[in-house]
Structure 1
Amino acid sequence: MTTATLNPTAASPLLFSGAMVFDSSARSFRRADVAAIDGHIQLENAGSMPGARRIDCTGKFIIPGLIDCHVHLTGSGDPAELNAARTTPLAQRAWRAETYARATLHAGFTTVRDLGAADRLNIEMAHAVAAGLIEGPRILAAGLGVTMTGGHGHGFLATEADGADAVRKAVREQLRAGATAIKLFASGGVMTPGVDPRSPSFTEEELRAGVEEAHKAFRPVGAHAQATDGIKNAIRAGVDSIEHGVWLDDEAIEMMRERGTYLVATLTAPYQIAHRGLEAGIPSYMVDKGWQVLESHQDSFRRALQAGVRIAMGTDQGTPVNKPGENAQELLQMTALGMSSGAALMAATAWAAGLLRIEGEAGSISGGLAADLVVLDGDPLENIGVLTNQRAIRAVIQAGRIVRSDLPENED
């Protein structure tokens, strides 16, 4: 599939020396030098590259650029933003979104999947990043999500459709607009007033029509699915990932395990809504539903993890108090519920790339892949929390370009 590829032609050769480098296949660190040439990784003979800018990473840890599989880059995390954005001019929303994209990239997230933006602003942002007009992560953009009439996300982040043919057409419209991912709504959710997260929405037939159109175009499909019946409808319809997965029963978990369906839990979103609550200015109906889903959501994640369901990291960035640049807090949520630090790091790198179908482009430190790298002061396998500490992130490199760095360098 075609993704938003960054132009590496202006990137000068880089050599990162003296670091411990994350090996995804072994899920451990090893001493190695890493070179970035024409925006791509070179490992063989990396240490002998005349004329390269040598960056001293002695005592540091290098991981692949992180991947967040569920963001809304146009959102700041302000609890009142959803209402304000309806009356804010598009140009102002675009200018603000640029700062959110930059914050996300500077936090080490070099690739994201944006699963819904008003006016399909996420697609335009993807083009702008790829063209070098703005600074931000590589974006797989879904345009607008597709929901039933009155369903979750309607009126802002999603277009409405009823019946298989209408869903098929709505997906085709997102593809025509340039979407590189597709989002379907299989149940209600927390943030839409008057919608119950326990209620399924699209039928299996409607979901299957949307999945067929997306897969014909080689686009991955994520299904917003919190209700048990909605989750099962989406799995049977062939979606690539269940987003949220609040009420997973044993049958749904086994279906996901057998079919290889990913879970993108976005644990941070309801946790922040419930725990920050009215004090943070979050509307009461959201807070009530946040508490309604929280315990079941966490239990479903634990059981899916224990059963061996594929997991990829996603935050739902842009929801209340879920701010751009704070994406790594999701990794803390995942490890607090029993995931090892190594598995959490894989969920935010190689496994995420597998879900998004970009494992041949990004997600690991392998020769020929995009030189997306994050240099850390500490070992994330020992303390995954190092990724939430901006001062411990010493450098971020995207497609061979230094986005930010305070490491010493010299030319050989």
Structure 2
Amino acid sequence: MQQIASRNPVDAEIAQLASLMLARTDELTDLVLNRVAEEFPLYIGMIAPDLLHVTIKDHIHFAFEPISRYMPPDARPAAASGRDRAMEGIPLTVIMDGYRIAFGVLWKELATAADSVGLSTKAALRAASEVMDTLDAFTRESSLAYKEELRYQARREEQQRAALVQALLEGRLDDTNVWEAAELLRLPTVGPYVVIAARVPNAGEYGLPHIERELGGMGIDSAWRLMHDVEVGVAHLPRPGDQFDLMVTALAAEGTGRVGVSPPYDHLLSTSQATRLARIAMRGAQERRTVVVFGRDPLSAAAASAPDIMPQVADSVLRGLDGLADEDRTLLLDTFGAWLDSDGSAAEAAKRLFVHPNTVRYRLRRLEERTGRLLANPRAVAELSLAYEIDCALIAEVGTGG
């Protein structure tokens, strides 16, 4: 009391009031607990009664004990409570409702205590301000800690998901744990599935930044793993007949680089093999066809399947073009590619290239003369087509640095 007497009279009254409230900690705890049970029984069902009792008691103690010593409230229990509630999965709105009910009870008891000791008007106003400041501090600290815990959980879940996707892609899961992995990855346990591989612009950057959300909007669940050179995802297609082409269209619209898609498969244990096929398809993608589905475009897949041998194959077919200037060589091959994409029609190829059909025919004759392969010969067309796909893939590799 000697310390209180040496302070400002209003401060002394506030400290005395806080001491009175502190002396009633057990009683106030029971009052708050009962009121919460009456107004918000859902809250009681979410937290063990003993734990809730301890939490309320700690809040009351740290709210009034510092004020009794002329210090601001200590919001540490609010931060601890916020973290704990986040770990228990209790919604933040439920926590805030709990604070509202609790401080309503404490404010009423504080007003009664102030009236019983004849608190001055100034002290009463200060007491009201202290209560509001305390409520603000507690809810703020609880909310901040709650959100930080959620961010931590999200990081942990993302790390866990990434590790599981990696294990799935590498074939390191067996029959026992593959279904547990599917549950954690939020993937159905029954196929069909596809693997998607997308070249990334740079290490640490996404090849398909928004694709998980885009596919989710189509009813396609997926799980993804970002690596240094490629972003790989496992996608589940419940209605492949309706969804496959929509997915390919979305991949073409979303991606800025090459994308490969595996054929559909039914068992998650086949994911590692599907990953290899998706990577081969990705290597076969080019500027004119950025998304390649393995099996739908065999030439592109074949051109990318053996990168140590295929350049030699292309060189043996296209060696006759070596004496041309780069621009002229590119012109002939681009014309051949347009002719292929036009099902062998010079007129349609001309429309694609914005030239006269006779110009297309002239360039194709030059290609025949240089390579010694006539386009009227199906075997020659097959050889030129494969060499063309290999050449496009090599150019794409150089353009993307790998």
| TM tier, smaller | under 0.3
Q: Which has the higher strand share?
A: 1
Bigger Cα Rg: 2
Q: Which has the higher contact order (CA 8 A, sep 6+)?
A: 1
**TM-score, with length taken from structure 1:** 0.21
**TM-score, with length taken from structure 2:** 0.21
